[in-house]
């Protein structure tokens, strides 16, 4: 049944890591608006902090992230100085010294930062925020460039979660994506992390990569589960060469077709569930002992720009070029260009380039979309949402979801279409957005 449905529906819908989604941000929300919003925060609000490090030392051809290749450390160091200046600038705009509960470094590759710079960054953060003693301090980590000394420096800085990019263990796939990373390298890094008390391990796997076959999926999952990650993400390769020109290096004839992508995904899900992992939303998995598995049970799962999270902070401050943040009043995104970003913060201005203020209607729809994406169900007012519920009719006929009064529930078989169900409540959909990648 699912094969037919994948062909039937246009699955190019947003991933709903925010609502409204980033293409609807506009330059009416600038640094002055952001400063105002920051000053209005309740000082008791817990904060989440996100840092974007847009550098890597080599380009993986599949990469869809915002990053630049650098061969020297100077640009990284210069950038980091700007990020630390931004921390001061933003902390000064807050109504009081506030508590940070979640810290996350993403990229690009935060592994580009030298050990001493991790210490300097954490020192600065501890100087300007109360970093909670139980705060989650997470970094995305590229195993190809991590050494044991580096892991030791992360431990010293207080890091307690690492998200490890793996993608595939198959040498011919690794060659086709220009990312050579033997299994032993990944295994070794995980052993170092655990030996240095960084025991919360996430791993990123992919399907739909060039030359990837359904036959390799089962062993990919088994080899991964042998490493006992606490959480796993299983991303379908999003081929968007019109946005990421380096993806043109990937031969389209090497890409698995829709049916094979679907087979790869289903096999991976089946195997992970068989091995005891709990499916989170559509493409994330948690070990049953992990708090994320528990959050599914208690309805406390959330979704933000890092994907699924147990982070409940109502405000996330984004630092670095292109970083996105949110406050109860709305979303803000920093300038993408490194030069413009640096100039703004060194001139003492927030580097906010765009954003969106949330209307009451946006807030209402955001809660419905987040409920569907996280809990597979939402309760809506059937009168207010009559037109949206109407849009779900074909999905109900196809068994993707049920609608009972105002209760919308995604069926187990409908999980792969979760984004499609959520999109019925997106009032902006089709209003001047770019192209999205396929949902499956």
Ligand X SMILES: C[S@@+](CC[C@H](N)C(=O)[O-])C[C@H]1O[C@@H](n2cnc3c(N)ncnc32)[C@H](O)[C@@H]1O
Choose between 106 and 330: whose C-beta lies nearer to ligand X: 106
Residue 271 contacts by C-beta under 8 Å, 6 or more apart in sequence? 217, 218, 221, 222
Restricting to residues 189-218, which ones interact with ligand X according to CB under 6 A? 204, 206
- Measured from the CB atom, the residue of 65 and 275 that comes closer to ligand SF4 is 65
Q: Under a CB-based contact definition with an 8 Å cutoff, are residues 164 and 141 in contact? A: yes
CA 258 to chain centre: 24
Return the SS3 of 151.
Answer: helix
Interaction partner, residue 380 (ligand X, ligand SF4, none; CB < 5-8 Å by kind): none
Complex with ligand X: residue 142 or 388, whichever CB lies closer: 142
Binders in 74-113 for ligand X, by CB under 6 A = 106-107, 109
Instruction: Work out how close the CB of 106 gets to ligand X at its nearest, in angstroms, rounded to a whole number.
Output: 6
Nearer to ligand X, 80 or 356 (CB): 80
Q: Give the integer Cα–Cα distance in Å for 173 and 218.
A: 15
Of 282, 243, 228, the C-alpha closest to 440 is 282
Q: Rank residues 38 and 60 by Cβ distance to ligand SF4 and give the closer one.
A: 60
Which residues ranging from 150 to 189 are in contact with ligand X (CB under 6 A)?
165, 167
C-alpha to C-alpha distances, 45 to 38, 42, 126, 160, 386, nearest whole angstrom: 11, 6, 17, 23, 35
Q: What is the DSSP string of 272-322?
A: HHHTTPEEETTTEEE-TTSHHHHHHHHT--EEETTEEE----SEEEEESTT
Q: Any contact of residue 238 with ligand X (CB under 6 A)?
A: yes
CA atoms within 13 A on the CB side of 275: 23
Residue 227 touches which member of ligand SF4, ligand X, none, C-beta under 5-8 Å by kind: none
Asked if 64 interacts with ligand X (CB under 6 A), we say yes
Q: Which does 256 bind (CB under 5 to 8 A by kind): ligand SF4, ligand X, none?
A: none
Give the CA distances from residue 296 to residues 284, 307, 373, 377, 440, in Å, rounded to whole numbers and listed in that order: 12, 14, 11, 12, 22
Q: Count the residues of the shown chain that bind ligand X, applying the rule CB under 6 A.
A: 16
Based on the shown chain and the rule CB under 6 A, indicate whether residue 25 belongs to the binding site for ligand X: no
Stretch that binds ligand X, among 62-70, 76-84, 256-264, 365-373 (CB under 6 A): 62-70
Instruction: Choose the one of ligand SF4, ligand X, none that binds residue 208, judging by a C-beta under 5 to 8 angstroms depending on kind.
Output: none
Residue from 6, 29, 38, 63 that binds ligand X (CB under 6 A)?
Answer: 63
The terminus-to-terminus CA distance of the chain in angstroms comes to 15
- The reply on whether position 283 binds ligand X by CB under 6 A is no
Let me know: does 43 contact 329? Beta carbons within 8 Å: no
Q: At what angle do helices 74-93 and 338-346 cross, to 10 degrees?
A: 50
Instruction: Select 336 or 349, whichever has its Cβ closest to ligand X.
Output: 336
Give the nearer residue to ligand X in terms of CB position, either 165 or 229. Answer: 165
Please give the residue ranges that form the binding site for ligand SF4 (CB under 6 A): 56, 59-60, 63, 65, 67, 107-109, 142, 165
Name the one range near ligand X by CB under 6 A: 58-66, 261-269, 286-294, 395-403: 58-66
Partner whose binding site includes residue 237, from ligand X, ligand SF4, none (CB under 5 to 8 Å by kind): ligand X
Element (H, E) at 15: none
Rounded to whole angstroms, the Cα distance separating 437 from 86 reads 32
Q: Which one of ligand SF4, ligand X, none interacts with residue 59, CB within 5 to 8 A by kind?
A: ligand SF4
Q: Which does 81 bind (CB under 5 to 8 A by kind): ligand X, ligand SF4, none?
A: none
User: To 5 degrees, how large is the angle CA 422–CA 108–CA 287?
Assistant: 55
Interaction partner, residue 89 (ligand X, ligand SF4, none; CB < 5-8 Å by kind): none
Work out whether 140 is an interface residue with ligand X (CB under 6 A).
yes
Closest approach of ligand X to the CB of residue 223, in Å: 16
Contact partners, residue 317, CB within 8 Å, separation at least 6: 47, 48, 49, 50, 90, 325
Beta pairing partners, 130? 99
Quote the least distance from Cβ 237 to ligand SF4, whole Å: 11
Query: By the 8 A CB rule, do 43 and 99 touch?
Result: no
**Largest pairwise CA distance in the chain:** 60
Sign of the torsion angle spanned by Cα atoms 189, 195, 197, 199: positive
235 binds, among ligand SF4, ligand X, none (CB under 5 to 8 A by kind): ligand X
In the complex, the smallest distance separating the C-beta of residue 34 from ligand X, rounded to whole angstroms, is 25
* Contacting positions for ligand X (CB under 6 A): 62-65, 106-107, 109, 140, 142, 165, 167, 204, 206, 235, 237-238
């Amino acid at each position: 049944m699912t094969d037919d449905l994948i062909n039937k529906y246009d699955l190019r819908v947003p991933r709903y890591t925010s609502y409204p989604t980033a293409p609807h941000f506009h330059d009416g929300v600038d640094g002055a608006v952001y400063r105002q919003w920051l000053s209005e925060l309740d000082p008791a609000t817990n904060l989440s902090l996100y840092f974007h490090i847009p550098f890597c030392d080599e380009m993986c051809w599949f990469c869809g992230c915002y990053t630049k290749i650098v061969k020297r450390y100077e640009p990284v160091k210069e950038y980091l100085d700007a990020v630390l200046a931004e921390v001061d600038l933003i902390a000064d705009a807050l109504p009081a010294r506030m508590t940070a509960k979640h810290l996350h470094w993403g990229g690009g590759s935060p592994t580009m930062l030298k050990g001493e710079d991790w210490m300097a960054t954490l020192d600065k953060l501890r100087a300007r925020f109360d970093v909670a003693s139980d705060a989650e301090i997470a970094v995305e980590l590229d195993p190809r460039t991590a050494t044991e000394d580096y892991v030791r420096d992360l431990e010293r800085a207080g890091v307690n979660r690492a998200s490890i990019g793996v993608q595939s263990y198959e040498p011919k796939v690794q060659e086709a994506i220009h990312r050579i990373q033997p299994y032993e390298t990944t295994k070794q890094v995980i052993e170092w992390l655990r030996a240095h008390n960084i025991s919360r391990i996430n791993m990123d796997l992919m399907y739909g990569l060039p030359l990837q076959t359904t036959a390799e999926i089962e062993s990919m999952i088994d080899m991964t589960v042998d490493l006992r990650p606490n959480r796993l993400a299983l991303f379908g390769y999003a081929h968007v060469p019109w946005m990421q020109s380096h993806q043109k290096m990937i031969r389209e004839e090497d890409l698995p077709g829709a049916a094979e992508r679907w087979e790869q995904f289903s096999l991976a899900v089946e195997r992970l569930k068989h091995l005891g992992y709990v499916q989170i939303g559509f493409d994330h998995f948690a070990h049953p002992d992990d708090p994320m598995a528990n959050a599914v049970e208690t309805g406390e799962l959330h979704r933000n720009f890092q994907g699924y999270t147990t982070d409940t902070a109502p405000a996330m401050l984004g630092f670095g070029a292109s970083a996105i943040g949110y406050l109860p009043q709305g979303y803000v995104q920093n300038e993408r260009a490194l030069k413009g970003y640096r100039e703004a913060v060194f001139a003492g201005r927030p580097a906010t380039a765009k954003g969106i203020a949330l209307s009451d209607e946006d807030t209402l729809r955001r809660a419905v979309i987040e409920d569907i994406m996280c809990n597979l169900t939402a309760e809506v007012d059937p009168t207010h949402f009559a037109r949206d519920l109407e849009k779900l009719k074909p999905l109900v006929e196809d068994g993707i979801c049920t609608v009972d009064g105002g209760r919308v529930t995604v069926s187990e078989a409908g999980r792969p279409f979760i984004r499609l169900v959520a999109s019925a409540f997106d009032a902006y959909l089709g209003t001047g957005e770019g192209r999205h990648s396929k949902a499956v």
